[in-house]
A and B are shown apart, each in its own frame.
Chain A
Amino acid sequence: MLKIKDLHASIEDKEILKGINLEVKAGEVHAIMGPNGSGKSTLASVLAGREDYEVTAGSAEFGGKDLLEMAAEERAREGVFLAFQYPIEIPGVSTTNFMKTALNQVREHKGLDPLDAVSFLKLMKEKMQLVEIDQSLLSRSLNEGFSGGEKKRNEIFQMAMLEPKLSILDETDSGLDIDALKIVANGVNTLKNKDNATIVVTHYQRLLDYIVPDFVHVLYKGRIVKSGTKDLALELEEKGYDWIKEEVDATI
């Protein structure tokens, strides 16, 4: 589904990603871990198409198409979803209205008719239950005055609405208490199937107790320096990142 080869990206001439190689297949869950500043969020942003970053080398293929050629909205319509680390507030725009606009543009891209109000509300009700989100929250201004947990649940709600092929969860666990974390993880797990894939970007192992990855990759200084199974995450939990840093720094 996703093939990243030797991806380099910089922001304001500072190189952050220094040759990422990663392949994600349908049905898989990949965890990207790493110390602060290793480039995890940059990778998520670059894949989602944030314009602040400049891709200087390498390639990324998504569903056989050149991902890097596509504008952010095209990527989204093709099925790339980013759950934001810091969801953005849009005053005066309700989540409902926002989602309706988004969903119908995605549907149009797929050659489908826009959903009428009744079908849309029905779909919304169904997806709301997944993340135990209240309808009153969805009629409020998008993310405005939401608690940390509400924001993250709202992200997963949007993911459920858009049914992406590839979901990238950028530090979705940050700022969540354990109950909210479970709800979010449960939502993600319910949405998982053999045709979609998930990349979980996280600093801590905690989330991976609930969203169990097939593969764990450690990102450090803009490169994936170690890959393994979920056991690697546990090892990191136990030993921290220092031993990896030392390993890598010794070879440079």
Chain B
Amino acid sequence: MSKDNQILEEFTSKEYEHGWSIDIESDQAPKGLTEDTVRFISAKKEEPEWLLKWRLDAFKKWQSMKEPKWPNVSYPAVDYQDIIYYSAPKKKQQLDSLDDVDPELRETFKKLGISLEEQKRLTGVAVDAVIDSVSVATTFKDKLGELGVIFCSFSEAVKEHPELVKKYLGSVVPTGDNYFAALNSAVFSDGSFCYIPKGVRCPMELSTYFRINAANTGQFERTLIIADDASYVSYLEGCTAPQRDENQLHAAVVEIYAAKDAEVKYSTVQNWYPGDKNGKGGIYNFVTKRGICAGDNSKISWTQVETGSAVTWKYPSCILKGDNSTGEFYSVAVTNNYQQADTGTKMIHIGKNTKSRIVSKGVSAGHSQNSYRGQVHVMKRASGARNFSQCDSLLMGDQCGAHTFPYIDIENSTAQVEHEATTSKIGEDQIFYCTQRGIDEESAVALIVNGYCKEVLNQLPMEFAVEAQKLLALTLEGSVG
């Protein structure tokens, strides 16, 4: 018996020793987080031993860690024992076509304007829909399959492609990376998996819509994207959440691996419930997103439009390991009412002639606080590294705040790093100019804000850009006058 197996054996026996009381037939894990919860989730998903071990290892690390206090946000302490860590949707059987999807779910999709059949027919977007943590519908799989592209739920990937998952899971965001990543690693319920084989240019945008459904269910999504040599993929992630009263924790992890000459474009439109006008309720969005440009000449580009969440803590980052690799980060973060966002990026230059570009546009309205936090780190080896950062803040009203925390660490004297920052206010002059042409105030603000964010919105795929523009307008509704 190998050493690994011995350890697994020990774990397995331990499990029974303590008596495992959670009913496996239950659709929900009981509230709270113990080793048993982790085992329950893993068993529920019929996972192999190595993954259970991986989760338990993460759980141990998490137990020894402390929630970070450095972000420029404040929120009531999260009671991690008061969260349901797993809940499956009612429907259990495997679905063959869209017709088998719960009509109620389809209705919700329609309301969100993302009806699957419409997307299938009109836009050619393959959708892997994550509802309450478990994928219920996946489309376009066959077409992608012909090219060898794998796009499926994470659980499915564990079953069908264990060798890939085992190789790359945790390779970009290790289990002990940070408090929330450790938590996610221990209890992640599902997510998306994507593999683009060598030389394949994925012909369609891969898209996942996330949505929180049942009350009191934390969402712990896990996404793993692997782009093999000289491949290309554009991946879209978007989410909307229905209104609710209680705070919800969302701690996702996204890992991207780009091999030699590969390019990955990852776009997000994030619209978690931000809480009501008085700051009551809303989602806590503590996300770890990181990509590694492992191979030479590879490229990872993050584009995000953040309009939701009561509290956002998120820094999509790039590790530029391969020579001549490129990292990009385009961000719009809009906060209104009592929202708080601390978001930005890290660009870690390791390889030679690596390039990074950061364009961050913050919009604060109401009583919100909006912080950009970014790090550009040029390591010793990274000769010829270049970075350009631009951080703009737009303020609406005089009750909100915009903050910028740029960190620059340079260990190689050949590096060229540029940083530009501006802060401006939406002028009454601008609004009057619009209203004088017959444009109402709300539309005027939307127009001005969309113009301000244009550089970032331009990075989004067309259909996503339209949705994002609508979201920006919606988020800032009632912020003037």
Q: For chain B, which range describes its interface: under 10, 10 to 19, 20 to 34, or 35 or more residues?
A: 20 to 34
Per-residue B-contact encoding for A73-90, CB less than 8 Å = 1, 0 else: 101110001101001101
Determine the chain A residues whose CB is within 8 A of the CB of B200 once the complex forms.
none
B454 within 8 A of A: yes
Q: For chain A, which range describes its interface: under 10, 10 to 19, 20 to 34, or 35 or more residues?
A: 20 to 34
In the complex formed, the residue of B with least CB distance to A109 is B438
| Given A92-B451, A92-B455, A141-B451, A105:B438 Cβ within 8 A | yes
| Given A73-B439, A92-B453, A102-B438, A50:B447 Cβ within 8 A | no
Please, how many angstroms separate the alpha-carbon atoms of A84 and B428 in the complex?
14
Per-residue B-contact encoding for A220-231, CB less than 8 Å = 1, 0 else: 000000000000
Q: Check A76–B438 contact: CB distance below 8 A.
A: yes
Please, how many angstroms separate the alpha-carbon atoms of A92 and B427 in the complex?
15
B245 within 8 A of A: no
Candidates A77, A88, A162; contact of B427 at CB < 8 Å? A88
Q: Check A76–B451 contact: CB distance below 8 A.
A: no
Expressed in whole angstroms, the minimum distance between the Cβ of B143 and any Cβ of chain A is 31
Please, how many angstroms separate the alpha-carbon atoms of A90 and B430 in the complex?
7
Interface residues of B in 401-453 (CB under 8 A from A): 427-430, 432-441, 443, 447-448, 450-453
Please, how many angstroms separate the alpha-carbon atoms of A102 and B436 in the complex?
9
In the complex formed, the residue of B with least CB distance to A75 is B436
Q: Check B441–A73 contact: CB distance below 8 A.
A: yes
Interface residues of A in 6-60 (CB under 8 A from B): 48-52
Please, how many angstroms separate the alpha-carbon atoms of A48 and B430 in the complex?
14
A158 within 8 A of B: yes
Q: Check A93–B437 contact: CB distance below 8 A.
A: no
Q: How many pairs of A and B residues are in contact by the CB < 8 Å rule?
A: 78
Q: Check B432–A93 contact: CB distance below 8 A.
A: no
Determine the chain B residues whose CB is within 8 A of the CB of A52 once the complex forms.
428
Expressed in whole angstroms, the minimum distance between the Cβ of B95 and any Cβ of chain A is 39
Q: Check B435–A93 contact: CB distance below 8 A.
A: no
Please, how many angstroms separate the alpha-carbon atoms of A242 and B453 in the complex?
51
Q: Check A101–B439 contact: CB distance below 8 A.
A: yes
Q: Check A93–B451 contact: CB distance below 8 A.
A: yes
Candidates B429, B436, B439; contact of A48 at CB < 8 Å? B436
Q: Check B437–A102 contact: CB distance below 8 A.
A: yes
Q: Check B428–A106 contact: CB distance below 8 A.
A: no
Q: Check B448–A105 contact: CB distance below 8 A.
A: no
Please, how many angstroms separate the alpha-carbon atoms of A19 and B266 in the complex?
62
Expressed in whole angstroms, the minimum distance between the Cβ of A87 and any Cβ of chain B is 7
A121 within 8 A of B: no
A91 within 8 A of B: yes
Q: Check B435–A72 contact: CB distance below 8 A.
A: yes
A123 within 8 A of B: no
Candidates A82, A91, A101; contact of B436 at CB < 8 Å? A82
Interface residues of A in 92-136 (CB under 8 A from B): 92-93, 97-99, 101-103, 105-106, 109
Please, how many angstroms separate the alpha-carbon atoms of A87 and B428 in the complex?
13
| Given A48-B436, A105-B438, A162-B438, A88:B429 Cβ within 8 A | yes
A interface list, Cβ under 8 A from B: 48-52, 71-73, 75-77, 81-82, 84, 87-88, 90-93, 97-99, 101-103, 105-106, 109, 141-142, 158, 162
Told that A102-B437, A105-B439 touch, could you supply 15 new A-B pairs with CB distance under 8 A?
A: A73-B436, A73-B439, A75-B436, A81-B436, A87-B433, A90-B434, A92-B450, A92-B451, A93-B450, A106-B438, A141-B451, A142-B451, A158-B437, A162-B437, A162-B438
Minimum-distance CB pairs A-B, first 8:
A92-B451, A93-B451, A92-B454, A102-B437, A76-B438, A72-B435, A88-B433, A106-B438
10 contacts between A and B (CB under 8 A): A75-B436, A88-B433, A90-B434, A90-B447, A92-B451, A92-B455, A93-B454, A105-B440, A105-B443, A141-B451
